[in-house]
Amino acid sequence: MKDKYQLIIIGGGAGGVAAAIKANELKISTLIINSILPLGGTCVNVGCVPSKYMIERSKYIFDIKNPRFDSITISDLNFNFKDIVDSQIKFVESMREEKYEKVLSSLENVDFLEGKASFVSEKKIIVKDKIIEGGKFIIAVGSTANIPQIPGIEEIDYITHIEALHMKDVPEDLIVIGSGAVALEFAQMYSHLGSNVTMIVRGDKLFKETEPEISEYIEKYFIEEGIKILKNTNVLKFEKTNNHKGIAYTERNKIIFDKVLFAIGKTPNTANLNLEKAKVVYNNNLSIKVDKFLATSNPDIYAVGDVNDLPKRLETTAGREGTIAVLNSFEKKNAFIDYNLVPYGIFTHPSIAGVGILDKDVSSLSSECLCLTLDFDKVPKAKIINDTRGFIKMIINKENEEILGIHLISHDAVDIIHEASLVVKNKMKVSDLSQMIHIFPTLSEVFKLVSQSYQLDLSNISCCI
């Protein structure tokens, strides 16, 4: 390890490693420093990879218990939760080794250091009592789950998504506090695994970042599966009982539980970076202020991933931002992400996905909105697989019929949303999409069908028209 590098990357998650890969391509002498989580950050260690691994298995268990086809019944089902968790941990280790450790070790222009870094000046950091100078910096230190200061919290067994991925047993009674993607995924996952789940939601809807109809549909499906949802509710205090259970007191309820899972957002890991020394400005929530090119108030320091204050803090955007930060800082590319074109997805069952603007945001474009909607009972493939749960909403500029946004809930919505991304990115019109030939029968045919509903009565057309 040297005393000076052209680039120092603080953080070894998706954004940091993507930046290191691009820097290596450009033959930039680079040091990447990692701490808090193992190399790979949230996504591979305690986020996307392990959660989807366990969600897929819990969904399989639910489908076996609730067969979709009358001609198929299963009389008995056994599963070993500990084996599921153990296999998930092993899978994460293999992914971390394959996608991060081996990749990073192959980068000849990149050195790696494990340790906590903080700035001592605009151009220098300290790690393990060693001062290291950098020409430019990329901050990519990620974020940590929020834990609210509720009276009695120190007495109870509470967890975040991290502990929820490593439990030894399925809790009999689980409270999930939150209404976003993490709350929805983990609430349903543990319900499918056998927990009695109660969701406590401060507002009046689940996942407010999507269309209200989709929020209503996922709430309906959760309730049908036995998940209790308490909206417009706050926990006032916790108590521990003599039988090791906990009690959560709200304005109207007293809820007995074994575990409480907090999924109420995250805070950027910037508190100990001494950003003032680097003349980097940050917000009250500790996110770093950046421009659309990812530059901070210090033009030689960029911030990517969960630490900055741009929209859609996702693993996918973090990785792309890492690449862009290197291109902008060393090659003056002035590249940026149009976050309106970044799809989102929630891996519930059915899943939620979308891209583009929402119905409520059309007014900001000074255009009149036209919305097309369709339930999935109009989609032949949904009938074939006997899962017609679902709804799609297409937002259109009525003046020129350009498709501005598409949002849906359905079986495999997260896998079919990318067609919608291309539609919105390429400013396609309703007529363009309605005339595209789709494979029949597929769930993605819903995009053609909802477009055709603009001019046709779908109840009076044949297949494949």
| Average predicted confidence (pLDDT) for the chain | 96
Instruction: Name 397's bridge partners.
Output: 369
Those residues whose C-beta lies under 8 Å from the C-beta of residue 130, and which sit 6 or more positions away, are none
8-state DSSP, 281: -
Please state, for a pLDDT cut of 70, what percent of the chain lies above it: 100
Q: Is the pLDDT of residue 369 over 90?
A: no
The Cα–Cα gap between 417 and 428 comes to 15
Residue 261: closest CA among 244, 271, 246, 242: 246
Those residues whose C-beta lies under 8 Å from the C-beta of residue 381, and which sit 6 or more positions away, are 441, 442, 443, 445
Distances from the Cα of 391 to the Cα of 1, 212, 272, 377, angstroms: 55, 11, 45, 9
Those residues whose C-beta lies under 8 Å from the C-beta of residue 291, and which sit 6 or more positions away, are none
Q: What is the CATH number of domain 350-460?
A: 3.30.390.30
Pairing of strands 390-397, 369-375: antiparallel
Q: What is the pLDDT of residue 75?
A: 79
- The amino acid that residue 121 corresponds to is S
Q: What is the pLDDT of residue 117?
A: 98
Radius of gyration of the chain measured on its C-alpha atoms: 24
Q: Is the pLDDT of residue 425 over 90?
A: yes
CB 43 within 8 A of CB 96: no
Q: What is the pLDDT of residue 70?
A: 87
The CATH homologous superfamily to which domain 153-264 belongs is FAD/NAD(P)-binding domain (3.50.50.60)
**Residue ranges of domains in the chain:** 4-145+267-339, 153-264, 350-460
Average pLDDT over residues 221-225: 98
Q: Is the pLDDT of residue 208 over 80?
A: yes
Burial class (CB in 10 A: 0-12, 13-18, 19+), 376: buried
Q: What is the pLDDT of residue 465?
A: 84
Average pLDDT over residues 15-26: 98
The Cα–Cα gap between 250 and 233 comes to 7
CA 458 to chain centre: 34
Q: What is the pLDDT of residues 129-161, one digit of tens each?
A: 999 999 999 999 999 999 999 999 999 989 999
φ and ψ at residue 415, rounded to 5 degrees = -90, -20
Average pLDDT over residues 288-312: 97
The Cα–Cα gap between 178 and 164 comes to 14
Burial class (CB in 10 A: 0-12, 13-18, 19+), 441: middle
Q: What is the pLDDT of residue 240?
A: 93
Is there a common fold for 153-264 and 350-460?
no
The CATH homologous superfamily to which domain 4-145+267-339 belongs is FAD/NAD(P)-binding domain (3.50.50.60)
Q: What is the pLDDT of residue 310?
A: 97
What's the pLDDT band for 331 if we cut at 50, 70, 90?
very high
- The amino acid that residue 133 corresponds to is E
Q: Please name the helix (run of DSSP H) or strand (run of DSSP E) that holds residue 330, with its range, or none.
A: helix 315-331
What's the pLDDT band for 459 if we cut at 50, 70, 90?
confident
CB 370 within 8 A of CB 349: no
Q: What is the pLDDT of residue 463?
A: 87
Those residues whose C-beta lies under 8 Å from the C-beta of residue 72, and which sit 6 or more positions away, are none
Sign of the CA dihedral with 299 first, then 302, 307, and 311 last = positive
Q: What is the pLDDT of residues 145-203, one digit of tens each?
A: 999 999 999 999 899 999 999 999 999 999 999 999 999 999 999 999 999 999 999 99
Average pLDDT over residues 6-19: 98
In the numeric block, which tokens belong to residue 435? 């005339």
Q: What is the pLDDT of residue 289?
A: 98
8-state DSSP, 289: P
Q: Is the pLDDT of residue 367 over 80?
A: no
CB 83 within 8 A of CB 4: no
The Cα–Cα gap between 249 and 242 comes to 17
Residue 263: closest CA among 13, 47, 58: 47
What's the pLDDT band for 366 if we cut at 50, 70, 90?
low
Residue scoring higher pLDDT (368 or 178): 178
Question: Whole-model pTM?
Answer: 0.96
Average pLDDT over residues 194-218: 97
Instruction: Name 248's bridge partners.
Output: 238, 255
Q: Is the pLDDT of residue 76 over 90?
A: no
